[in-house]
Structure 1
């Protein structure tokens, strides 16, 4: 069992994640990792003790984003909650396009297991509610979350910045149509 981080270590890790998010957004995924350490106010050794490489820090930023998404949708009350979840997820994927590319190029598929598990945990409360309310097709299951996330992120992966938003909007429209319960209540 992993011990929780001491407060000072947790604060440094949070500073590194915030700095990584900002540096990657400003300079792109190929920005020097030293710039992240500098912005976080820590040394290089601290950066590499927390995150051995670019893939690990990109994954940590994405996990942090999914955790935030999970908090937002942990106690849904609106019947359209799962549609709202997918809409929010789409926006996050657009903002994190470069990070997603680094993670997709990861040396081992096992490194993505925590991200996939976190995504399912984040999505399930809203999926269950929207299914109960008859808004979302009843045959969707936890394993479909990975498919839906891949659909939302796949089209924008290599898209030029000028077309990324249009592709993301259209992909979201298609995904939302695909998950809605058919009229008349059948699957």
Structure 2
């Protein structure tokens, strides 16, 4: 991809993250193009539909999480990763609905792979320190992510943070090593 095309795509992703957070997932996609400073054609050349752009925003968020925890030296890195993932899912609740409504499972494969890749280094660190159970595998992150996100589905905005916090507490308790 040429640099100018890559820059426009990045601008669209940043704009989509902000617009979806401010106006909701059903906002007209033209607002994203406008905020990114590009035309509708550029948006649709990069993303065919709302699902594609929502998945790309989530993929970007997961990539940022992966970078953040790639070189951690904190024994509780995986617990911190789960907390950051919970925060990401809470901020992007509307995007979770798009993921649940994805027309095919294959569309979600890149997101799933990115999630496993992002979590693996932190998981290894916490398991080596005997903070996290040895039987937790990198692919279990998909399950843990689903648990964190499922509790937010249809939660009223006023109770979303409390539900997210309680769900995170239960998930962290489930992965910790026992004496």
**Which residue number in structure 1 is paired with residue 152 of structure 2?**
156
**Which residue number in structure 2 is paired with residue 91 of structure 1?**
87
- CA–CA distance in 1 between the matches of 2:51 and 2:93? 14
**Which residue number in structure 1 is paired with residue 14 of structure 2?**
18
- CA–CA distance in 1 between the matches of 2:28 and 2:156? 23
- CA–CA distance in 2 between the matches of 1:108 and 1:88? 27
Matched, 1:62 2:93: no
Instruction: Give SS of 1:159's match.
Output: coil
- CA–CA distance in 1 between the matches of 2:98 and 2:77? 30
Cα distance, 1:49 vs structure 2: 0.4
Matched, 1:38 2:34: yes
Q: How does 1:70-149 map to 2 (within 5 A)?
A: 70-149=66-145
Structure 2: unaligned runs, 5 residues or longer: none
Instruction: Give SS of 1:142's match.
Output: coil
Cα distance, 1:146 vs structure 2: 0.5
- CA–CA distance in 2 between the matches of 1:157 and 1:97? 7
- CA–CA distance in 1 between the matches of 2:166 and 2:99? 24
TM-score, structure 1 length as denominator? 0.95
Cα distance, 1:172 vs structure 2: 0.3
Cα distance, 1:158 vs structure 2: 1.1
Q: Per-residue displacement from partner, 1:134-154 (whole Å, max 9, x unpaired)?
A: 000000012211000000110
